[in-house]
């Protein structure tokens, strides 16, 4: 007697489970311009690398003779796979079944995704599509148990824990609401498609019932809303662009906090010096310049991957490589409020520093900071609190930190740009102080200015006198910076620093005091 019959039945059930929502459900999904969860997983992972967990999970129906008469697959697919040969856990809702709203078997698997990633110490990639729970769900039967037992571990605990243990990435490639929207933001990197995804806490029907306003999903939570809200970090043009950006993001990160981010062999000369850096910062202090060009000239060629370019735009953040070593890059964009720290920029900064700290990525910070944003809007936005959160995140960061004083460095906000493990370089174009000369002179010398025959001329004269007294050399003489450098030397200097910090990076592996939170 063999077990052939049972084995055939196992195979049949696996086949049934792979039928997802059936031909019609799949056709509908394609008509919406979207891939199914199984197509997504295949396109994201290295070919043939997916190993599904729970291949025959379903809600079955049996007749009185125990014959299977119905088989609705779990609407969550989860398993192991590889990206560029490295292990990941991937999971996602199957929208072709019940609109991704969890059926009983699907819910068990979706909750398992985080556990799997944390247990095996492997990055988690979530594909999110669906509206979360429904009042039609299981609860409410008389005589049955309702809710979780009071001693149960909170279901969200593992979601928080995962962020301090392994890289977590979430992709929205359809409508995402409720609990799935919560999981989207509980990530180190979140991304949505420009035309086929929406993210909202509650969808149009809920909003209309609660607030009496009628809005489409796109008006509520389209890409144009969330590129600016910061709910997602990046926008993808389509699903394939989504997968390629996720793969790229993960290439900079370690597999978990106990390992080091993978340093690759760089083909870019660490001694490369770009002539244009000599003229990159204009001598006229009020003329803007392109900080991203400076970053591109200094980092390994084409290695800069910007995160959240549409949110908190006065602050630039991203990942890059220096002589093959993954690093976090921070920089101010002087074309947006002179690079001032707004409330959004402060939150973006704090989260990014916490991510670098969690995964022990060294930070390279290009400083052109005129201070916290001021004005009525800034006060209403609570700017100083979020700004101080950024200052505290940097002050308690454990990673090696290279600070390059490119241009301005004024006020308390500047403190956000230095960490205890500092390596400080300055360019000759550096300007710093308690506050910028223009405003500072008007405040400090207001009596003299008011008493002058021509107050405006007096103010300009004072500004000019103080400006000419400003020189970059004393900070090098006083060892207030490690080195005052020729801007062209920045790349070679930083690449040498990357070599010195290697032993330190080994020592940092493990949990950090302040992992990233959403």
Partner 1 sequence: MAKLEIESEVTGNVWKVEVEAGARVDAGDVLMILESMKMEIPVEAPEDGTVAELRVTEEDAVEEDQVIAILET
Q: Which residues bind partner 1 (CB under 8 A)?
A: 286-288, 313, 334-338, 340, 370, 373, 375, 377, 436, 438-439
User: Would you say 369 or 490 has its CB closer to partner 1?
Assistant: 369
From the CB of 376, what's the least distance to partner 1, in Å?
10
DSSP 154: P
Question: What secondary structure does DSSP assign to 342-367, as a single string?
Answer: -HHHHHHHHHHHHHHHHTT--EEEEE
- From the CB of 505, what's the least distance to partner 1, in Å? 37
Q: How far is the CB of 287 from partner 1 (least distance, A)?
A: 6
Smallest distance from partner 1 to CB 340, Å: 6
Q: How far is the CB of 373 from partner 1 (least distance, A)?
A: 8
Write down the least CB distance from residue 312 to partner 1, Å. Answer: 13
Residue (302 or 377) nearer to partner 1, CB: 377
Nearer to partner 1, 362 or 370 (CB): 370
Instruction: Find out whether 332 and 316 touch, Cβ atoms under 8 Å.
Output: yes
Specify the residue, 438 or 506, whose C-beta has the smaller distance to partner 1.
438
Considering beta carbons, is residue 89 or 340 the nearer one to partner 1? 340
Rounded to a whole number of angstroms, the minimum distance from the CB of residue 466 to partner 1 is: 15
Instruction: Collapse the DSSP code of 58 into the 3-class scheme (helix H, G, I; strand E, B; otherwise coil) and give the result.
Output: strand
Token reading at 362: 């060294």
Q: At what angle do helices 343-358 and 383-395 cross, to 10 degrees?
A: 20
CB of 443 to partner 1, least distance (A): 14
Q: Which is nearer to partner 1, 438 or 486 (CB)?
A: 438
Axis-axis angle for helices 490-500, 291-298 (nearest 10): 60
Nearest to 439 by CA among 405, 404, 408: 408
> What CA–CA distance (Å, rounded) separates 252 from 439?
41
**Shortest Cβ 352–partner 1 spacing (Å):** 21
Nearer to partner 1, 224 or 258 (CB): 224
Residue 475 and residue 481 in contact, taking contact as beta carbons nearer than 8 Å: yes
Name the pairing type of β-strands 189-193 and 168-177. Answer: parallel
Q: Using alpha carbons only, how large is the chain's radius of gyration in Å?
A: 27
C-alpha–C-alpha distance, residues 372 and 365, integer Å: 17
Shortest spacing between CB 278 and partner 1, in angstroms = 22
Shorter beta-carbon distance to partner 1: residue 94 or 333: 333
Q: What is the dihedral of CA 375, 376, 380, 386, to 10 degrees?
A: 0
> Tokens at residue 244, please?
């390629």
- Helix pair angle (37-44, 239-251), 10° resolution: 40
Exposed/middle/buried for residue 3 (C-beta within 10 Å: 0-12, 13-18, 19+):
exposed
Residue partners of 433: CB distance under 8 A and separation at least 6: 410, 440
If one counts every other C-beta atom within 10 angstroms of the C-beta of residue 116, the result is 19
- Residue 383 CA to residue 151 CA, distance in Å, equals 40
The first and second tokens of residue 392, run together, are 């505290």
The strand pairing partners of 83, in sequence order, are 86
Q: Are strands 325-332 and 315-322 parallel, antiparallel or unpaired?
A: antiparallel
Q: Whole-number minimum distance, CB 464 to partner 1, in Å?
A: 15
Alpha helices in 403-454 (DSSP H): 437-444, 446-451
Q: Which residue's CB is nearer to partner 1, number 288 or number 433? A: 288
Residue number with CB closer to partner 1 (214 or 279):
279
Token digits of residue 39: 């197509």
Instruction: Considering the complex, state which of residue 9 and residue 438 has its C-beta at the smaller distance from partner 1.
Output: 438
């Amino acid at each position: 007697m063999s077990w052939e019959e049972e084995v055939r039945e196992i195979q049949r059930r696996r086949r049934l489970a792979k039928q997802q929502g059936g031909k019609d459900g799949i056709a509908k999904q394609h008509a919406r311009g979207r891939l199914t969860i199984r197509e997504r997983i295949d396109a994201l992972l290295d070919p043939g690398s997916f190993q599904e967990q729970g291949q025959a999970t379903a809600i079955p129906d049996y007749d009185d003779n125990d014959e299977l008469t119905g088989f609705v697959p779990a609407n969550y697919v989860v398993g192991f796979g590889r990206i560029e040969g490295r292990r990941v856990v991937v999971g996602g809702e199957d929208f072709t079944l019940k609109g991704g709203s969890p059926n009983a078997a699907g819910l068990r698997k979706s909750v398992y995704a985080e556990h799997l990633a944390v247990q095996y110490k492997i990055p988690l990639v979530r594909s999110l599509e669906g509206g979360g729970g429904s009042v039609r769900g299981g609860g409410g039967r008389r005589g049955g148990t309702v809710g979780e037992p009071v001693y149960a571990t909170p279901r969200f605990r593992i979601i928080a824990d995962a962020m301090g243990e392994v890289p977590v990435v979430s992709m929205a490639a359809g409508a995402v609401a409720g609990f799935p929207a919560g999981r989207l933001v509980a990530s180190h990197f979140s991304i949505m498609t420009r035309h086929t995804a929406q993210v909202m806490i509650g969808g149009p029907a809920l909003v209309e019932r609660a607030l009496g306003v009628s809005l489409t999903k796109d008006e509520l939570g389209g890409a144009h809303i969330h590129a600016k809200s910061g709910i997602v970090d990046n926008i993808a043009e389509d699903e394939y662009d989504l997968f390629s950006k996720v793969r790229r993001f993960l290439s900079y990160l370690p597999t978990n906090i106990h390992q080091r981010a993978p340093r690759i062999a760089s083909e870019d000369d660490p001694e490369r010096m770009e002539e244009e850096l000599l003229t990159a910062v204009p001598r006229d202090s009020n003329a803007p310049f392109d900080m991203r060009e400076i970053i591109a000239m200094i980092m390994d060629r084409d290695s800069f991957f910007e995160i959240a370019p549409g949110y908190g735009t006065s602050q630039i953040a991203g990942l890059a490589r220096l002589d093959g070593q993954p690093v976090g890059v921070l920089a101010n964009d002087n074309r947006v409020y002179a690079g001032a720290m707004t409330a959004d920029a402060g939150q973006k900064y704090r989260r990014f520093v916490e991510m670098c700290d969690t995964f022990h990525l060294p930070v390279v910070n290009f400083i052109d900071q005129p201070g916290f944003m001021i004005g009525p809007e800034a006060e209403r936005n609570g700017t100083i609190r979020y700004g101080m959160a950024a200052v505290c995140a940097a002050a308690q960061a454990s990673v090696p930190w290279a600070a390059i004083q490119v241009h301005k460095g004024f006020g308390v906000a500047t403190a956000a740009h230095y960490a205890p493990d500092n390596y400080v370089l300055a360019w000759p174009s550096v300007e710093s102080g308690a506050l910028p000369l223009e405003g500072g002179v008007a405040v400090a010398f207001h009596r003299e200015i008011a008493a002058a025959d021509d107050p405006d001329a007096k103010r300009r004269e004072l500004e000019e006198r103080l400006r000419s007294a400003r020189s970059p050399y004393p900070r090098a003489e006083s060892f207030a910076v490690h080195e005052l450098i020729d801007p062209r030397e920045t790349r070679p200097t930083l690449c040498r620093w990357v070599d010195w910090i290697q032993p330190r990076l080994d020592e940092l592996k493990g949990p950090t005091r302040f992992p990233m939170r959403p």
